[in-house]
Amino acid sequence: MFRINRENLRNSHEGPWLLLDIIMLGLLLLNLLFLLFDGLYNTAFIRDSLNAWSPAFVNFYDPIHKNFILVDLVFIAIFLTEFFVRWIVAIKTEEYLRWYFFPFLRWYDLVGCIPLGGTRIFRFLRIFSILYRLHKNQIIDLNDTGIYRFFAFYYDVFVEELSDRIVVKVLTDAQQDIAAGSPLIDDITQNVLAPRRPVISSWMSNIVNHLGQSINDSKHGDVIRRHVKDSVGKAVRENAQVSTLSYLPVVGRTIENTLESAVTDIVTASVVNLLTDLEARDIEEFVSSGLKDFTPEEQNLDKEFLLVVNECIEAIKGHVSQQRWKSQLIEKQQQKKAAKMNPVVDDSDVKQP
């Protein structure tokens, strides 16, 4: 059972209202117990049992039972008075954006005050709202109560099962749409990528420019320059016209090396200039004009892309379908078993020799 934190109650700026909540909570519990007892008293079995046990109590309570609606109206009058007082205070403090928001947000208080059997159940919601306010202001702590943990656990189970089924249903419908084939690819291309082509082109231009600057950097571009040098050197050496220079006496090998070095520098500088000078409008023009007729194996590419998307969705469905609450429950059971098998021994219980 929860304990009342008197220190927080004293230090709270809303102490009178929180105290009123505690009083109203007690009245609600009393009223609900009264309703429960009167409902049981209405049965012949309970009335006969009470008559056999204490006829004086039956004679005392029978007039109350016949006029029970009047007794309930006393509680209703108290509840409505508290409701309207809080409404007036909410209007004065401008707690809500509109003065008429209060009864809509606290509708269960009004419905619970209707003296009918079906509406009295809403008084339970009033209890929960009071407990929530007390918990929010740290007057009581519901986290340590077994009832709270019980309802919290099964609420999480309900929400997880419901949300998992909704997500799986949505993903299954998406898979059925994907199975329709290339129209999805066309929609993505025309409605998603095409409007963002300037942004994508700018992003690609920045990436390419950064790559060119990295190649030109003496430290970071050494790998690329070495690769270009090896590739150009290999191409120069395999060239038939250049290879004939090695037959020249004395200066043949020198000319060949100088030519190889010069071609390497020229190619590297050309690559750097190409990458650093490439602008977003060049890439956009290239994409719009140079790739519009690109259609090799287009059908197979679309099919493969759809398969990848479908497999990704299937993996997501498998992950969502995992019942995490079961694993948590099994883990708690294992912890309880481990605690029973390895009880903690108190040092004070160990007898000293």
Q: Using one digit for the tens of pLDDT, what is the confidence trace for 301-319?
A: 666 767 777 788 787 777 7
pLDDT tens, residue by residue, 201-247: 787 788 877 777 777 776 666 777 677 777 777 777 777 776 676 66
Per DSSP, the three-state class of 260 is helix
Query: For the residues 127-145, what does the mean pLDDT come to?
Result: 74
What's the mean per-residue pLDDT of the chain? 76
Q: Which residues are CB-neighbours of 214 under 8 A, at least 6 positions away?
A: 220, 221, 224
**pTM, two decimal places:** 0.46
Question: Residues 61, 41: contact at Cβ < 8 Å?
Answer: yes
Question: Residues 215, 208: contact at Cβ < 8 Å?
Answer: no
Quote the pLDDT of residue 350: 46
For residue 185, name the pLDDT band (cuts at 50, 70, 90): low
User: How many CA atoms lie less than 13 Å away from 337 in the CB half-sphere?
Assistant: 6
DSSP code at position 290: I
For residue 14, name the pLDDT band (cuts at 50, 70, 90): low
Q: Hey, which of 78-82, 115-119, 222-226 has the most confident mean pLDDT?
A: 78-82
For residue 266, name the pLDDT band (cuts at 50, 70, 90): confident
Quote the pLDDT of residue 218: 67
**Of 6 and 339, more confident:** 339
Report percent pLDDT > 70 for the chain: 76
Distance CA 106, CA 90 (A): 12
Q: Which residues are CB-neighbours of 72 under 8 A, at least 6 positions away?
A: 31, 34, 35, 115
**Of 352 and 111, more confident:** 111
For residue 351, name the pLDDT band (cuts at 50, 70, 90): very low
Quote the pLDDT of residue 133: 74
**For the chain, how many helices (H) and strands (E)?**
17, 0
- pLDDT tops 60 at residue 132: yes
Q: Which residues are CB-neighbours of 229 under 8 A, at least 6 positions away?
A: 264, 268
- pLDDT tops 70 at residue 2: no
Report percent pLDDT > 90 for the chain: 3
**Of 80 and 287, more confident:** 80
Q: Hey, which of 78-82, 209-213, 246-250, 343-347 has the most confident mean pLDDT?
A: 78-82
Buried b / exposed e over 204-236, threshold 16 CB at 10 Å, is bbeebbebbeebbeeeebeebbeebbeebbeeb
Per DSSP, the three-state class of 85 is helix
- Give Cα 130 distance to the centre of its chain: 28
Per DSSP, the three-state class of 314 is helix
Q: Which residues are CB-neighbours of 271 under 8 A, at least 6 positions away?
A: 212, 215, 228
For residue 68, give the amino acid letter: F
- Give Cα 314 distance to the centre of its chain: 20
Question: Residues 140, 1: contact at Cβ < 8 Å?
Answer: no
